[in-house]
Amino acid sequence: MMPKIRIIYMGTPDFSVPALQQLAAEENFHISLVVTQPDRPKGRGKKLTPSPVKTAALDLGLDVLQPERINTKETRDQLRSLQPDFFVVAAFGQILSQEILDIPKVFPINIHASLLPKYRGASPIQAAILNRDAVTGVTTMVMAQKMDAGDILMTSTTPISEQDTAQDLHDRLGAMGADLIVETLHAVLDNRLTPRPQDHAKATYVKLLKKKDGEIDWTLSNRQICAHINAMTPWPGAFTRLGNTPLKIFTAQPVDGTCLHEPGVMFQCDKTGIHVATGKGSLIILELMGTSGKRLTAREFLCGHTIDPPIKFDPA
C-alpha cells in the first residue's frame, strides 16, 4: 500500500474552506496539520471567534495550530517534524519566511484568486470586478518569498458578468480553487507538470481594501459605478451620503442615454427605483440600506423616506 501524501494546510477565511474540505476527502492525501490565524474578537460583544478554516478543520477531526507569529523557531520545528510533502496555502494571512517555505519535500503551493501575474496582493477579486474584466480565475503557484511571484503551476478561468458581486465571485473562485489544487497535486505527483515562471513585467498589484474605499464617486460613468457597487459587496460596502444620512447601495442598474443633470443628482423616484445622474449616463438604485440597518428594495425604502427630486447626494 502506497503511503499517503502528507499535507500541511494553511488558510483562514471562508475562501480557504472548500480547498481544505476537498483535500481532506482525497483518499491518498493526509492533512497532518491545519494552520490558521488565532481566534479574534468579533461582533458587538467582541467574543473570541474561530476562523472559518478552524471551524471546518475541527469538523473534519483535524489537528489545528494557531500561531500569533508563524516565523518562530518553535513553529518552524513543529512544522518540520511532520515531514510534509506539500504545504497548501490559501489566504492564510501571514508572510512565510524562506526557512518555512523550504520545509516541504516537494513544494509549498499557494491558491490565489486571480490569473497571475495580474492582481498580486490582497484584493484580486474586487479588482477584477472594478476593472470590468471579462474573465478572471484562480492560479496555483509554487510559493516564493516575494508576494504572489512564484512559478505558476495551473490556472482555471471563469467569466465575469455585469451582475457578479465580489461575494458571487468569491464563492465561485473558492470552489474552483478546491478543484484546481487537487488537480495540481495529482499532476505534480504524476510528473505531468513543470512550473513556469511568471512574466514579472506584466505584474499588477492590489492593496487591502479599507472602509473608505466603498465611497461612491458619482462623477464616474454609470457602468463604472455599478461595477464599484458590485466590487464592494459585501465588504466594505458601497456607500454615499444624503445630508447626514449614510446610505449603503447594494444593487444598481445602468441606464444608457444622455442625462442632463449633474452627477449625483437624484432626478426621479418611481416604482422602478431611484434614478441618479452620473458622469456618463445615469443609473437606477434597486436595493439600499439607510439608518434602519435593513436591506430594502428602492420601493420599500421610498415608502419610509420622502425624497423630493431633484436632490443631490453629498460629494465624496
The pLDDT assigned to 292 comes to 85
- Are 57 and 80 members of one domain? yes
Buried b (16+ CB within 10 A) or exposed e, 226-252: bbbbbbbbeebbbbbebeeeebbbbbb
The pLDDT assigned to 244 comes to 81
- Are 191 and 218 members of one domain? no
The pLDDT assigned to 152 comes to 98
- Are 189 and 60 members of one domain? yes
In the numeric block, which cell numbers belong to residue 100? 518555512
Domain membership of residue 71 (yes or no) is yes
Domain membership of residue 81 (yes or no) is yes
The pLDDT assigned to 316 comes to 58
CA-to-CA distance for 19 and 9, rounded, in angstroms? 9
- The stretches in the chain having pLDDT less than 70 are 1, 316
- Are 182 and 226 members of one domain? no
- Are 160 and 40 members of one domain? yes
Closest CA to 153 of 107, 91, 219, 92: 107
Across the beta sheet with 86-90, what order do the strands follow?
64-65, 29-35, 5-11, 86-90, 107-112, 135-142, 152-159
H or E stretch at 241:
strand 238-242
- Are 93 and 221 members of one domain? no
Q: How many CA atoms lie within 13 A of 131 on its CB side?
A: 16
- Are 217 and 190 members of one domain? no
The pTM of the full predicted model, rounded to 2 decimals, is 0.94
In the numeric block, which cell numbers belong to residue 181? 489544487
Total structural domains within the chain: 2
Domain membership of residue 19 (yes or no) is yes
- Alpha carbon distances (Å) from 184 to 8, 141, 192: 16, 9, 9
Q: How many helices (H) and strands (E) does the chain have?
A: 8, 18
For residue 34, list its beta bridge partners. Answer: 9, 64
Domain boundary residue, one of 196, 228, 262: 196
| CATH number of the domain to which 249 belongs | 3.10.25.10
Q: Find the domain containing 11 and state its range.
A: 5-112+139-196
- Are 184 and 304 members of one domain? no
Domain membership of residue 128 (yes or no) is no
Query: Which is it for the CA torsion 95, 99, 103, 105, positive or negative?
Result: positive
| CATH number of the domain to which 72 belongs | 3.40.50.170
Domain membership of residue 134 (yes or no) is no
Buried b (16+ CB within 10 A) or exposed e, 170-198: bebbbbbbbebbbebbeebeeeebebeeb
Domain membership of residue 203 (yes or no) is no
Domain membership of residue 130 (yes or no) is no
- Are 172 and 82 members of one domain? yes
The pLDDT assigned to 17 comes to 98
The pLDDT assigned to 150 comes to 97
- Are 51 and 88 members of one domain? yes
The pLDDT assigned to 307 comes to 87
Domain membership of residue 122 (yes or no) is no
